[in-house]
Amino acid sequence: MSFLKRIFSKAELKINRFPKESSDGKIEIINNEIICTGQHNMHSCRVNIDDLQYAYIIINSNKESLLFLFDFHQNYLPTNFSGFSQVYCNLSERLGFDDKAFFDNVNSQVQTKKEVWRKRHPANFKPLETSNTDYELGFEILSPTKDFINWDTTYDELKKNLNVIFEESPYGQKISKFKYPIRIGSLIIEDFSSYFDNSRTDVPVLHFYSHCFDSTNSDKSYYEIKKLLCRDFPKENQFFGYERKDQNSISFKANDMLISLVYTYDSDWKFDRGYTSFSVKNQREYPKLLVDGNYQSNIEITSFLELPIKIAISSDYKRNMRVKRRPDILNSDKPIVWIDDKNSKIGFADQTYCQIFEKNEIKQFTIQNILPAKGSGGAYLMVNFVGNSMSHAVLSGECKVFDYYKEKLNKLTGLEVKIAPEYHNC
């Protein structure tokens, strides 16, 4: 019997067990892709079968019956859409769905979530019996000629490494991977990646990660890696988070490098991942990046405007190269906007940090108020650039705090200051 005949035979045998199909939408498989099209775009999605990671039968709070498919995105296929039964039987035949779990729950009238299939991944990490104590230094690429990478290595430097390759994540982010397994302390990991889309590249890589699978694709990976790290790290560097029915979490610190383990289980709002999320975040400070020695030595304040003490500016200098230390020449301890005609600059500062712009790159300013609702609300002073539709939030504070300074800011800078339509912080 051909593959296609087996599919239709299976569908015919179970057709009465599927929910009655309707014209609310259509589901079909074309060229190895599941295409779901619902009225008014409801539940519409496209899913590559090869990317599927797990599947669940779900009855939601509205008693809707749905096949949940995860391909790094969440997709809900209503079981009453036209063509669903044939698509289900096709997938079940190909992948080996748990038909009993599916049919035991597909027509349930109570809220339900039951796994019907999961892709099996090979184990991709290995604990070493011997303890290594170089966690705080970096990691080693296990290439034919081993290559040790310091945690302080910048994006620009890592990009030049011949053992590094680049891909795009399922979410559109640029990520780096390594051609060989790597060793972190006493742990060998085969698939170690970093997010490589940081807006500045002269800083150390901020975040590495891996999805660590053991041979059972279960929480055994969490407990095995946790045991290893608890062995290698002194207790004062172990930060136990929680171990609950829905999730486990624990972290370890190595000279301001934060190594974290998270395992997620099935719960009302989450799905069992099958792997331990292993991440390394760089929490070190690099004060030299905050110094603009050239401008500090040439700054000249032509005029300025003081602002209320609670106004703040971003301090995330590792992602925004405009963020620098507040110039010493600003004697006041208040947030301030200043004009420097000598150097053609406009500067903004809170009590600690500042951002500085060329006068000719700013077109105008926008004040954006966010009214309190579920959230507390707030206000932003936005910089609008010449020849660019994007805006940059340079200062923030309480709702409407900038309204009083609208005319003063216009007079100081000679630039238009608009107030954008308000919206609620829902």
Q: Which pair of structure tokens corresponds to residue 341? A: 């005609």
Task: Inform me whether the pLDDT recorded for 1 exceeds 70.
Answer: no
The mean per-residue pLDDT over the stretch 313-330 comes to 94
Residue 24, Cα to own-chain centre: how many angstroms? 34
- Look at residues 230, 266, 262 and name the one whose alpha carbon lies nearest to residue 248: 262
* Percent of the chain's residues with pLDDT above 90: 89
Backbone torsion region of residue 217, taken as left when φ is above 0, otherwise alpha when ψ lies between -120 and 50, otherwise beta? left
pLDDT, position 375: 87
Phi, psi of 424, rounded to the nearest 5 degrees: -85, 145
Q: Can you tell me the distance from the alpha carbon of 110 to that of 61, in angstroms, rounded to the nearest whole number?
A: 8
Q: List the Cα angle 357/366/384 in 5-degree steps.
A: 40
**Which are the contacts of 236, defined by CB distance < 8 A and separation ≥ 6?**
none
More confident site: 7 or 284:
284
Q: What pLDDT is recorded for position 373?
A: 87
CA separation, residue 348 to residues 146, 298, 333, 373 (Å): 47, 17, 13, 29
* pLDDT one-digit tens code per residue, 267-282: 988 999 999 999 999 9
Looking at the predicted structure, is the pLDDT value of residue 4 above 80?
no
Q: Where would I find the beta strands (DSSP E) of 31-100?
A: 33-38, 45-48, 54-59, 65-70, 74-78, 81-82
Asked whether residue 8 carries a pLDDT value surpassing 70, the answer given is: no
For 82-86, what is the mean pLDDT? 96
Asked whether residue 198 carries a pLDDT value surpassing 80, the answer given is: yes
How far is 242 from 263, CA to CA, in rounded Å? 11
Output the pTM of the full model.
0.88
| 2 has a pLDDT exceeding 70 | no
The confidence band for 157, taking pLDDT boundaries of 50, 70 and 90, is very high
Average pLDDT rounded to a whole number, residues 70-83 = 96
The mean pLDDT of the chain is 94
Q: Is residue 14 scored above 70 in pLDDT? A: no
Percent of the chain with pLDDT over 70: 96
For residue 144, the SS3 value is coil
Beta-carbon neighbour count of residue 20 at 10 Å? Answer: 7
Sign of CA dihedral 48, 266, 374, 371: negative
- Number of Cβ within 10 Å of residue 354's Cβ equals 23
Would you say residue 11 has pLDDT above 70? no
Dihedral sign for Cα atoms in the order 240, 245, 247, 248: positive
Return the percent helix, strand and coil in the chain, to nearest 5. 20, 40, 40
**Mean pLDDT within 284-303:** 94
CB 59 within 8 A of CB 72: no
Which three-class secondary structure string do you get for 274-336? CCEEEEEEECCCCHHHHCCHHHHCCCCCCEEEECCCCCECCCCCCCCCCCEECCCCCCCCCCE
Model confidence at 203: pLDDT above 90 = yes
- Segment 154-167 shows an average pLDDT of 97
Q: Does the pLDDT of residue 3 top 50, yes or no? A: no
- Whole-number pLDDT of residue 10: 52
pLDDT at res. 364:
96
d(CA 108, CA 132): 53
Q: Residue 9: its pLDDT value, please? A: 52
- Which tokens belong to 81? 């859409």
State residue 412's pLDDT score: 97
Give me the helices (H) in 171-281, please. Answer: 220-232
Candidate from 191-200, 299-308, 315-324, 325-334 with smallest mean pLDDT: 325-334
| Residue reference for tokens 């994007």 | 390
Given this model, what pLDDT does residue 13 score?
47
Domains parsed from the chain with CATH numbers: 3-118 (no CATH), 125-282 (no CATH), 288-424 (2.30.29)
Which residues contact residue 145 at a Cβ distance below 8 angstroms, ignoring those fewer than 6 apart? none
Burial of 13 (C-beta count, 10 Å sphere; 0-12/13-18/19+): exposed
Structural contact between residues 338 and 330, judged by C-beta atoms closer than 8 angstroms: yes
Q: Which two tokens stand for residue 401?
A: 């705090």
Instruction: For residues 130-135, give the mean pLDDT.
Output: 94
Beta-bridge mates of residue 369:
379
Q: What is the pLDDT of residues 340-370, one digit of tens each?
A: 999 999 999 999 999 999 999 999 999 999 9
Q: How far apart are the first and last CA of the chain?
A: 57
Residue 31 pLDDT > 50, yes or no?
Answer: yes
26 beta partners: 37, 82
